[in-house]
Amino acid sequence: MSIQFATKRLGKELQKIQNYLPPGIELVSADNFEEWLVDIRVLDENPLYKGQIYRLKFKFSSSYPIEPPEVVFVKLADRPIPMHPHIYSNGIICLDLLGHQGWSPVQNVESVCMSLQSMLTGNTKNERPPGDEEFVRANRLRPNQIDFYYHDNNV
Partner 1 sequence: MDSEDDFMSTVSSEDDILPDDSDNDDLSGAEDFDFDDEPDPDLGTHKDAEYRKRVAYDVSFTVWQPQDMQKQQDDLINEVNMILDISKGDAAILLRHFRWNKERLIEDYMDRPRKVLEAAGLAQSAAGPQKLEVIPGFVCDICCEEGEGLQSFAIKCGHRYCVDCYRHYLSQKIREEGEAAHIKCPSDGCNLIIDARSLDLLVTPDLTERYHQLLNRTFVEDKDTLKWCPAPDCQNAIECGVKKKDLDKVVPTVSCLCSHRFCFGCILNDHQPAPCELVKKWLKKCADDSETANWISANTKECPKCNSTIEKNGGCNHMTCRKCKHEFCWMCMGLWSEHGTSWYNCNRFEEKSGTEARDAQAKSRVSLERYLHYYNRYANHEQSARLDKDIYVKTERKMVQLQKESGMSWIEVQYLASASQALQTCRQTLMWTYAFAFYLARNNLTEIFEDNQKDLEMAVEALSEMFEKPVTELADSKLKVVIMDKTSYCNKRRVILLQDTARNLAEGIEWPGTKVSDH
Determine, following the binding rule CB under 8 A, whether residue 135 of this chain makes contact with partner 1.
no
Residues in the chain: 155
Min CB(110)–partner 1 separation in Å:
12
How many C-alpha atoms does 92 have within 13 Å on its Cβ side?
20
Determine, following the binding rule CB under 8 A, whether residue 146 of this chain makes contact with partner 1.
no
Q: Which residue number, 41 or 59, has a Cβ lying nearer to partner 1?
A: 59
Positions 72 through 111 that interact with partner 1 (CB under 8 A): 100, 104-107
Catalytic residue among 40, 94, 109, 112: 94
Min CB(71)–partner 1 separation in Å:
16
CA–CA–CA angle 109, 78, 31 (5° rounding): 40
Per the annotation, the verdict on 94 as an active-site residue is: yes
Q: What is the SS3 assignment for 39?
A: strand
| Alpha-carbon distances of 152 from 33, 79, 129, rounded to whole Å | 32, 27, 12
Residues facing residue 58 across a β-bridge:
36, 71
Q: Which residue number, 9 or 41, has a Cβ lying nearer to partner 1?
A: 9
Min CB(15)–partner 1 separation in Å:
9
Give pairs for 4-7: CB < 8 Å, separation 24+. Answer: 5/62, 5/63, 5/66, 6/33, 6/60, 6/61, 6/62, 6/63, 6/64, 6/65, 7/33
Min CB(61)–partner 1 separation in Å:
10
Q: Which residue number, 67 or 132, has a Cβ lying nearer to partner 1?
A: 67
Determine, following the binding rule CB under 8 A, whether residue 29 of this chain makes contact with partner 1.
no
- Sites of contact with partner 1 (CB under 8 A): 1, 5, 8-9, 12-13, 63, 65-67, 100, 104-107
Q: Catalytic residue numbers? A: 94
